[in-house]
Amino acid sequence: MLSIAFGQSKYYIDNLSENVKRGLREKLRRGEWPGWAPVGYLNDYKQHTIYPDPGKAPFVKKMFELYSTGKYSLESIRKEVNLLGLSGAKGKPVCKAHVAKMLRNPIYYGVFKYKGELHEASHPPLISKKLFDQVQEVLDNRHRPRKPMEVKYTFTGLMRCSYCGCSITAEKQKGYIYYHCTKKRGICSNKKFLREEAVSNT
């Protein structure tokens, strides 16, 4: 009898789990966000969807518009939206990590990601796809490592070593610029370093 009772319980739980999954798939098919509303939206429990939060949605849109200009860092945009009055779900000011997450979230232009898959949303978007793409470009450029600026010296490329014929390069040491052989062809007997002032006077 105990075995039969356990079997019936498992059957009930399996059916319940399948019904929940089926309901979730149907919800996603209709484009309904299946979780807690992100900042800028509110949950509509009767319609089982989300809608723009009249108190926060304008600030979220303003955040995207400001960041798309490329004139703000994540920290400065965080300060800006906090001054405007944007707060998180619990009424606390949004942190830098939260701002970065919001700027990457496609739900604000009408598409949401659930378990790695994108779904067309049925809720009204707060921003356009074009504005979202502009923000992603700014974010990507800020995270891309910058190439160090190449220092150019006055006489590089104009002279060659009189000993081996290699080009002359320059480096800065203790505030002075020194020219010397690059020694690209191997060992060079010229071990002299010439200061830029001496080159200018010749």
The full DSSP string for 65-118 is HHHTTT---HHHHHHHHHHHT-B-TTSPBP-HHHHHHHHH-GGGGTEEEETTEE
What digits encode the pLDDT tens for the residues 29-48? Answer: 787 888 889 999 999 988 88
Q: Please give the pLDDT value at position 95.
A: 92
Three-state SS at 17: helix
Over residues 41-63, mean pLDDT = 92
Over residues 140-165, mean pLDDT = 70
Burial of 43 (0-12, 13-18, 19+ CB in 10 A): middle
Output the six-digit token pair for 160: 């060659």
Does 101 have pLDDT greater than 60? yes
Q: In the structure, what pLDDT confidence band is assigned to residue 12 with cuts at 50, 70 and 90? A: low
Q: In the structure, what pLDDT confidence band is assigned to residue 28 with cuts at 50, 70 and 90? A: confident
What digits encode the pLDDT tens for the residues 109-133? Answer: 999 888 878 888 889 999 999 999 9
Calculate the average pLDDT of the chain.
81
Whether the CB-CB separation of 173 and 151 falls below 8 Å is answered with no
- Amino acid sitting at position 165: G
- Listed by start position, the domains of the chain span 25-143, 148-202
Plot region of 2 (φ>0 → left; ψ -120 to 50 → alpha; else → beta)? alpha
Three-state SS at 171: strand
Output the six-digit token pair for 83: 């001054």
Does 14 have pLDDT greater than 60? no
Does 21 have pLDDT greater than 70? no
DSSP 8-state assignment for residue 181: E
Question: Which class does domain 25-143 fall in?
Answer: alpha beta
